Amino acid sequence: QTGSANTNPSDSADDEYITSVSIGTPAQVLPLDFDTGSSDLWVFSSETPKSSASGHVTYSPSKSSTAKKLSGSTWSIEYGDKSSSSGDVYTDIVTIGGFSVKTQAVESATKVSTQFVQDTVISGLVGLGFDVGNQVSPRPQKTWFSNAASSLAEPLFTADLRHQETGSYNFGFIDTSLAKGTIGYTPADGSEGYWGFTATGYSVGGAKLNRNSITGIADTGTTLLLLPDNIVDAYYNNVESAEYDDSQEGVVFDCSEDLPSFSFGVGGQTITISGDLLNLTPIEEGSSTCFGGLQSSADIGINIFGDVALKAALVVFDLGNERLGWAQK
Ligand SMILES: CSC[C@H](NC(=O)[C@H](Cc1ccccc1)OC(=O)N1CCC(N)CC1)C(=O)N[C@@H](CC1CCCCC1)[C@@H](O)Cn1ccccc1=O
């Protein structure tokens, strides 16, 4: 068995990727953000304060004949960008891309932070990290993918995120036609809950890859490519107008700049992110100053290959073999 779901950029900056998920009987369809950096499936619901839920699609367990309260269970989560949410837990049927998990823990939000209230394009997250990262207590729950894995043709999923066009999350199979290059595999470390791996080097423009281990995570829930300062500086030294903008908390440059590409080595392959994928977006509507897709990871403590990097590749999240596959797109 397999599943295949389309996913779409949330806005002109490809800030988030939105995928429709069906929950309950009859199906309640919610727009959710798939996040390989976390392991909880949580939603805005009938239990979310009305003022916070306004503008969001919500899940009502009381309207689902297959919903069951997981009594005594609660959850609370805080993300890297300091956004947070918490609540209680139901189980219900959750269908993604035509594949159904009968008894999936659906975490219902009774509290959401301001960022979530304002981010009305999504009604919650589907964590696609490792089960060890789940935040339900007293008994942690499995992710949708973990529950699905044993019934899928292969215990893996792929992410094909695209710039300003529809991409896909495929479950249980690899559509190699989505990639130009060969898939290179490298071991994945799931011990912290997210998909950790080590890139073997990088280069700016068409230069030859150097040898420089970069340990980081493959994170569909993070917009940017966040790498160490020395790499960020090496890149922006090639961009005449680049400067650090305190208010934007990042490197900005003239939108008219012709940005160099950025490449990294992984699994014996070279993934090249084109310059236009690194020129994220004007800092404000109509501004001629643009915000860079590559920024520093210095104050985070972990390198994150977020959507800016993932957009250049077909990425295979292979749970069965605890490995990550990367192919140039
Ligand atoms: C340094 S991890 C920062 C990252 N959050 C971002 O990337 C947000 C995403 C976004 C964009 C637009 C609207 C709302 C949210 O976007 C920015 O922060 N941006 C983009 C726009 C830029 N102008 C400024 C910088 C982040 O916490 N991800 C987590 C998942 C997110 C949470 C917020 C909702 C969307 C999914 C998560 O995987 C990060 N994780 C990864 C591993 C371990 C723990 C952990 O928690």
pLDDT tens, the chain, 329 aa long: 999 999 999 999 999 999 999 999 999 999 999 999 999 999 999 999 999 999 999 999 999 999 999 999 999 999 999 999 999 999 999 999 999 999 999 999 999 999 999 999 999 999 999 999 999 999 999 999 999 999 999 999 999 999 999 999 999 999 999 999 899 999 999 999 999 999 999 999 989 999 999 999 999 999 999 999 999 999 999 999 999 999 999 999 999 999 999 999 999 999 999 999 999 889 999 999 999 999 999 999 999 999 999 999 999 999 999 999 999 99
Residue 131 is a catalytic residue: no
Which residue is closest in CA terms to ligand 1's atom 12? 15
Which residue is closest in CA terms to ligand 1's atom 43? 37
Q: Please choose, from the candidates 283, 229, 244, 238, the residue with its C-alpha nearest in 3D space to the C-alpha of residue 257.
A: 238
In the chain, count H helices and then E strands: 6, 26
Pairing of strands 303-305, 214-218: parallel
Distance CA 97, CA 91 (A): 19
Give residues with Cβ within 8 angstroms of 178, minimum separation 6. Answer: 158, 160, 168, 314, 329
| pTM tops 0.95 | yes
Query: Ligand 1 centroid to 68 CA: how many Å?
Result: 31
Q: Are 6 and 21 in contact (CB under 8 A)?
A: no
**What is the ipTM metric for this complex?**
0.98
Structure tokens at 311: 């957009």
Residue 14 is a catalytic residue: no
Q: What number does the ligand 1 atom closest to the CA of 291 have?
A: 23
Give residues with Cβ within 8 angstroms of 238, minimum separation 6. Answer: 204, 205, 260
CB atoms within 10 A of CB 256: 9
Q: Is 131 helix (H, G, I), strand (E, B) or coil?
A: helix
